[in-house]
Structure 1
């Protein structure tokens, strides 16, 4: 497995398409972070710098989007490009049968390919995060504290699980479809649906199942909103966006889009306006992280079982 993993790593880092995508991700991330830093300077000019200002660099939108939003929407393309031809490319080149005719277990092939993709994604995310942190140290002149570094570490782990899901999905389509174009189009189609249209579908389904006849009725509005939010969690993009936003924003106290606060609860909340500690933020996003990891494991498990049961001919 490790031999196949090293070979796949060499293929990834030597491929032109990976290098082009890698440079594109870095360029857009640097531009968006630079714009975010400029916005932070303008907002904080003449004011005392608040706590956790270093994390604002990752959550403050630049001209169009923040770094977290950029990774949520366009990060899956990195996993898709590395996995959409993992198996059917071997079939097309007639090397899969020759590979398995050697004393190599079949599961070592798919395990090595998936592991190589995860390692590549981790290297890209880690190098991108370190580069942006160095840029923030120079531009903001603020040294991050221990909790901020820990939050960035948790963000890195969640991002790895998120991109690993799309990598596993692309590998699954490369097993199911023999055509390279079909597997790529299927992966991109699901990415577009989950990233851009799942929210509309969830709202339409909630309006059909829990319609709101009176906008002044809090019970109807809350039932509709909760159902729409629950349906939107089917999308890995929604899980990732809510989890990373709560981790990188210590002042966020809920992942829900709508909260009903009574007057007494409002008075109680005014007493606790400080940032949440990391363990409390983890309690907020723990269901999201578990569900995201579960989706990744299920997707790779289906790929594993499907590949193990397929017929592979040597010639």
Structure 2
């Protein structure tokens, strides 16, 4: 089909945006750089997320849940603020980890609702474009194919990052207003590191949902598959682990070495769970007194010196978990990238 026949066709959304692609040159009048095609695509994806009711509803749920647990934890922390306890040393970190019992703590809500947010952003990233017929029209433009997938992934990460940083600064700002004293440099850096790792955790579920969106044509199938994986790792896999390790459970008269091997086995079996990796990372970053994550021998316990670890040591403690979470995220993106680049995309009709 020649270009003269295409000029009369009105394409929705993407064609209007793609008209601004032949750029990256300076305007002689305004002396400003125009946006590149990839930047235009990222901006379009971010705008679609923000205007989507699904995003607004999920963000409202997470905001209400985290705000409720924040104020309940803040009220309980202010009651015990005058007492001379070690828990009051890191007041701002306690706002993320402590709870008065009525609601779960802040990081529990993020670990539970964050996957749903990531799945909600990416389950129809590719399938909806293909069902509407806009994917083939995008490919008809002089745009590299990987721009489409990369733009959706980067836009999702930006939206997730803005949301999580907004929640973290909301917690710090509320604590600053209530206490009247800013957080220490150690607390501030720990909160920033925790927020960055939370973005990685939610990005894993975003990549997983994008993978299912590339693999399945129907958005409903992609969404149900992503939720099924989340339910499996949240509910069913811990039950399977308990059934497996129950057969190896030693008696109460067993030797200490046998008990240590049993606990080590249980520890390794749960390391493939993304939510368990995130919980361990959060425990070490937001609770400086945590000095070990796995089981310890008696020699290690006797030689340990009680106290708080510096941030660098806490990061080293959870570096295997951080590496595992990053590896899972990159694997999901790699699989979706390979499938999408090899897929044959045809126009509808």
TM-score when scaled to structure 1? 0.93
| Paired residues, number | 308
Q: 1:74 Cα deviation (Å)?
A: 1.2
Equivalence for 1:212: 249
Equivalents in 2 of 1:236, 1:101: separation in Å? Answer: 38
Q: Does the alignment pair 1:3 with 2:40?
A: yes
Equivalence for 1:127: 166
Contact 1:233 1:239 in 2 (8 A): yes
Q: Deviations over 1:75-129 (max 9, x none)?
A: 1111100000000001111111111111111111001100100010000001111
Equivalence for 1:15: 52
Equivalence for 1:278: 311
Q: For 2:272, what is the secondary structure of its paired residue?
A: coil
Which deviates the most, 195-204 or 33-42? 195-204
Q: For 2:121, what is the secondary structure of its paired residue?
A: helix
Q: Does the alignment pair 1:105 with 2:141?
A: no
Equivalence for 2:228: 189
Structure 2 matches for 1:220-239, cutoff 5 A? 220-239=258-277
Q: Deviations over 1:110-159 (max 9, x none)?
A: 01100100010000001111111101112233421111111011101110
Which blocks of at least 5 consecutive residues in structure 1 are unaligned? none
Contact 1:37 1:140 in 2 (8 A): no
Q: For 1:250, what is the secondary structure of its paired residue?
A: coil
Contact 2:250 2:262 in 1 (8 A): no
Which deviates the most, 284-293 or 46-55? 46-55
Contact 2:128 2:219 in 1 (8 A): yes
Structure 2 matches for 1:64-143, cutoff 5 A? 64-143=103-182
Q: Does the alignment pair 1:288 with 2:321?
A: yes
Which deviates the most, 129-138 or 35-44? 35-44
Which protein has the larger Cα radius of gyration, Structure 1 or Structure 2? 2
Q: For 1:233, what is the secondary structure of its paired residue?
A: helix
TM-score when scaled to structure 2? 0.84
Q: 1:194 Cα deviation (Å)?
A: 1.2
Equivalence for 2:289: 251
Contact 2:241 2:266 in 1 (8 A): yes
Contact 1:253 1:276 in 2 (8 A): yes
Equivalents in 2 of 1:139, 1:29: separation in Å? Answer: 17
